[in-house]
Structure 1
Amino acid sequence: MRQIKFRAMLSDKYYAHPRMVPWDELLERFDALHIFDEYCMTLMQFTGLLDKNGREIYEGDIVKLHQVVLSPDDKIGWVEYTAQYGYSIRFGKRRCRQSDWATDEGANYEVVGNIFENPELLEAYK
C-alpha cells in the first residue's frame, strides 16, 4: 500500500522567503486547520515512488529521465497529477504516463529539483 504524505511550499508570511517543507515538519510545526489559510502556497503529494537514488518523488519535482530503449538522450520534465492520467512526467507539451516511466526497467529517473525552487532547470525544455 502506498504511503500517503505531502510536502508544502510555504509563503514568506512564515519564513523570510518561500520554502519547501517536508511532511514530518508539516506535522510537527503547523496546525493543520490553519496552515492552508495563512502559509501554504502549494501542497504536493508523494507519488509513492523513489528515484534511482532512493529520493521520494512528489508532484512538482523536476526529474531527469533516461530511457535506454526509447531515447539515447536524457530528458528533463516535471511530475504532475491529473485525474485523467494519474502521475505523469511533462516534457513541455508531451506527457509520459506513470505506467510508462515508473514500471519500465530500462528507465532511470532522478529528482534534480522542483518547479518552485528550480524553474530554470526547465527553461531549455519548453
Structure 2
Amino acid sequence: MKREIRFRAWDDLHNKMYPVSDIEWDADGRMWVTTDDGKNGIELIDEEAHLMQYAGLEDKNGREIYENDILKVISEDGESYVATVKWFGDEGYPAFDLAGIPAAWCYESNALATIFESGVETCEVIGNIFENPELLEGKQ
C-alpha cells in the first residue's frame, strides 16, 4: 500500500494551522515551513511549531485525518466516544492509533485500523487538540 506523506503545522505564536508543502531546517535548528500556496515562507522555531503527519485516512465525510485530530467514533447502534489520533512511534509502536479510548470499548489490536477495516464503526474529525481543546475536557 502506498501512502502519501503530508504534514500540517500548528503555530503557537499566531495560533494558526498551516498546510505544509515544504519543510527545511537551518544550521541553528530553526524550521522553515512553506504553506501550500507557495507564497508565504513562515519561520517556525521548534518551540513554537507542532508538525502533524497525515495518517493516510479520511473520515466519513472525506476529511483528511491528521495526528492530533480529535475523532468522534460512532458504533452501529449510535453509541459514541471521542479520542485523539496519535503517532505511537516514540513508544515502540510505529503506527497511528487512538489515545483516550474509554475502557468500555475494547479492541484486540490497533483501534484506528480496526475501525477502518471492519466498517462497523464510523469516525468523524470534530477538531484538533490545538484549536478545540475543550472537546477533550474531562477526558484527561
Q: Could you tell me which of 96, 110, 115 is aligned with 2:129?
A: 115
Identity fraction in percent: 33
Match of 2:117 among 92, 103, 109: 103
Structure 1: gaps of 5 or more residues? none
Deviations 1:64-84 (A, max 9, x none): 00122xx75210011000121
Query: Which one of the candidate residues 96, 99, 102 is aligned to 1:90?
Result: 99
Using a 3 Å threshold, how does the CA distance of structure 1 residues 123 and 75 change in structure 2: closer, same or farther? same
> What displacement does 1:10 show?
1.2
Amino acid at match of 2:41: F
Alignment map for 1:44-83 (pairs within 5 Å): 44-68=52-76, 72-83=78-89
Q: CA deviation at 1:38?
A: 6.8
Point out 4+ residue stretches in structure 1 off by more than 4 angstroms: 92-96
Is residue 16 of structure 2 the alignment partner of residue 19 of structure 1? yes
Mapped contact 1:10–1:39 kept (Cα < 8 A): no
Normalised TM-score (structure 1): 0.78
- Considering fraction of residues, name the structure with more helix: 1
Paired residue for 2:27?
none
Could you say if the C-alpha distance between residues 123 and 39 of structure 1 is closer, same or farther in structure 2, counting changes exceeding 3 Å?
Answer: closer
Deviation at 1:101, TM superposition (A): 2.1
Unaligned runs of 5+ in 2: 22-33
Counterpart residue identity of residue 91, structure 1: G
RMSD of equivalent CA atoms: 2.5
The 1:93/1:107 distance shift into structure 2, 3 A limit, reads closer
TM-score (norm 2): 0.71
